[in-house]
Amino acid sequence: MNRRRWLALVGTGAVGSLAGCTVGYRGTPGESPARPVPERELVRGAARDGIPAIVDPVFGTDWDDIEFDAQDPLSGTYRAKPRLTPESPVIGVVRGEEARAYPLAVLNWHEIVNDTFPAAGGDAPLLVTYCPLCGSAVTAVRRVDDVVTTFGVSGLLYRNDLVMYDARTESLWSQIEARAIRGPKTGTTLDLVPSSFTTWGDWTDEHPDSLVLRPPPESSTVTGRTSTRNYDVNPYLGYESVDQIGIGGTYDDDRLHPKTEVLGIEHDGVATAYPYDRVAAAGVVNDEVGGLPVVVTLAGDQETLDGTGQLVAYERTVRGRVHQFTRSQGRLVAAGTRWSALTGRGVDGPLADESLVPATDVSPLFFFAWLAFAPDTTVYGE
């Protein structure tokens, strides 16, 4: 589903103190990755842990039995029953034989989930993050110096993006770059984990046995206090349609509205942004970025590309040969083979045992956020 529609469906609220494959552009060209970001480039948006990360997540098959209409003992206010519908946006992750979904209705309020995910060979520490200001999702292994650690919300912003801290070294980490920008681990990057930026309905179509994150108070936060958040309310409602850039900043690019949803691809020093509406109009984009053949399309349970899909991109090279892709019944098609547009997994045909390789580590995000980390980007269709 289009991000603008996603945000409107989460609930009602006001823009206040704002704070698919995922993660970020790994550094600005010409910038030394080991150089700490000057403190003056960090902006305080909230107190440390003022946005409380989830540290002990609880999962279930749905939210049907959650009741939040009682009076909250701390705030004295009433909270509505949170809804998880097929249209609800989620970040989906598969590890080993298990699939899990992390709803934006929770991540809008908490931004970070510290999870321990069953995987081949044992449990694996997983970091799931979302920055509502940039519309960017990042999933990674939550290890620093090969030791499992907990990540929290520092309350700082770098280029209007979430800045995390790790409890082991107290280093600060850029969410979009998945890179430490200040502290002992400056220049270190996190190991990324593939994920999908999608809807609960599309995710369960592909993974019918998926579990889903349950909101606090069932899941515990870093503060240890009962959450007073209303998970049926979107605190960023309306933010996606205004010119406001995060909590401040300038924007002077006339190619796109700053909140246009794009998928960014970077290869060999070349970056390209693919706007949602242009990809939807084309249906399938067979392109090349920095010499890398790519295919960009929308994934979702539809054939008409009517604004309800999610931006995805894959490499067009399969078994050493570059292919030209089309679509059929919501699937990507080449060489007589069909692949799931959402996951890249083969469905049928002679190449069905080959999964398509994601062409980017970046989730769909707002154009201004991509531009902040890839200032020389071109825009598809310009």
Higher pLDDT, 249 or 378: 378
Q: Return the bridge partners of 60, or none.
A: 212
Examine the pLDDT at 46 and tell me if it is beyond 90: yes
Higher pLDDT, 163 or 9: 163
DSSP state of 194: -
Residues 256-278: pLDDT tens digits? 999 999 999 999 999 999 999 99
Q: Are 373 and 176 in contact (CB under 8 A)?
A: yes
- The pTM is what? 0.87
Examine the pLDDT at 23 and tell me if it is beyond 50: no
For residue 322, what pLDDT is reported?
A: 98
Distance, in Å, from the CA atom of 138 to the CA atom of 163, rounded to the nearest integer, reads 12
For residue 227, what pLDDT is reported?
A: 63
> How would residue 32 be classed by pLDDT, with cut points 50, 70 and 90?
very low
Residues 279-319: pLDDT tens digits? 999 999 999 999 999 999 998 754 444 456 889 999 999 99
Nearest to 64 by CA among 79, 84, 91: 84
Nearest to 101 by CA among 90, 115, 109: 90
* Domains recognised in the chain with CATH numbers: 11-221 (no CATH), 261-379 (2.102.10.10)
> How would residue 214 be classed by pLDDT, with cut points 50, 70 and 90?
very high
Distance, in Å, from the CA atom of 148 to the CA atom of 124, rounded to the nearest integer, reads 9
Distance, in Å, from the CA atom of 117 to the CA atom of 119, rounded to the nearest integer, reads 6
For residue 121, what pLDDT is reported?
A: 64
Phi, psi torsion values for 188, nearest 5 degrees: -75, 140
Nearest to 308 by CA among 340, 333, 342: 342
Residues 309-356: pLDDT tens digits? 889 999 999 999 999 999 988 899 999 999 999 889 999 999 999 999
> How would residue 54 be classed by pLDDT, with cut points 50, 70 and 90?
very high
DSSP state of 219: S
- What is the strand order of the sheet 331-334 is part of? 326-328, 331-334, 337-340, 346-348
The encoded tokens of residue 94 equal 């598969």
Instruction: State the DSSP string of 166-193.
Output: ETTT--EEETTTTEEEESTTTT-BPPB-
**Which three-class secondary structure state does DSSP give residue 224?**
coil
Examine the pLDDT at 27 and tell me if it is beyond 80: no
Phi, psi torsion values for 92, nearest 5 degrees: -110, 140
What does the pLDDT average to over 52-58? 95
The encoded tokens of residue 196 equal 């999908």
Among positive and negative, which fits the CA dihedral 237, 241, 244, 246? Answer: positive
